[in-house]
Amino acid sequence: MKAKFGLAASAILVVGGMGLTVAPASAAPTAPTAQCSVVSAGIGQFQLVGSGFKANAPVNVLKNGALQAVATADGAGAFTVGAVRGNYTAVDHSGNSAKCSDPFTTTEEEETEIGQGYTKGFTDGQAAGKKAAKDTMCGTPQIPRNLRQDAYADGFRDGFTRGFDSVCAQEQGQGNQDNDL
């Protein structure tokens, strides 16, 4: 009867009358799993906190498929950026990605007109704020006064201020404030 040995099994070899044991190869270490979430950073303030991304590499932060910010992971593959409530996706250039869920926002809230209105207003306001900062060379920002009082207007005002401040902070040498959403 012939014995069959599998490749993964340990084998004992006899060389010159001496036994030698060969252990199976161990599995290669796995890459860290990317993860992120929205956390409270004080009354009405939130941060997006991520880990497990490629060290010292850019991480694209997306909301509803649109780029909101580019963060840079630290040496441990972690990042933190200011955020508004909502759900995000973070993706680095090596393909690591994570859904960043907001424990403070319910699915129903995200799907309501109010949640969608605020998000749309914030996105529009952020673009308008960045444009106003460039047009006025960081002069006095002029938020449109004809905004109605609703979730869109609240989002627009918040986004405008955040966009204006991010451009002016960069131009005044105060670091990369564009990491704030």
CA distance 36 to 104: 14
Beta-strand relationship, 79-83 and 88-92: unpaired
- Contacts for 32 with CB less than 8 Å, ≥ 6 apart: 51, 52, 77
Domains with residue ranges and CATH for the chain: 31-105 (2.60.40.10), 106-169 (no CATH)
Predicted model pTM:
0.46
CA distance 181 to 179: 6
- Per-residue pLDDT 10s for the chain (181 aa) are 444 444 444 344 444 444 444 445 555 445 568 999 888 877 667 888 999 999 999 999 888 777 888 899 999 999 999 888 778 889 998 888 898 887 776 666 556 666 677 778 888 888 888 888 888 888 887 777 777 667 777 778 888 888 888 788 766 655 444 445 5
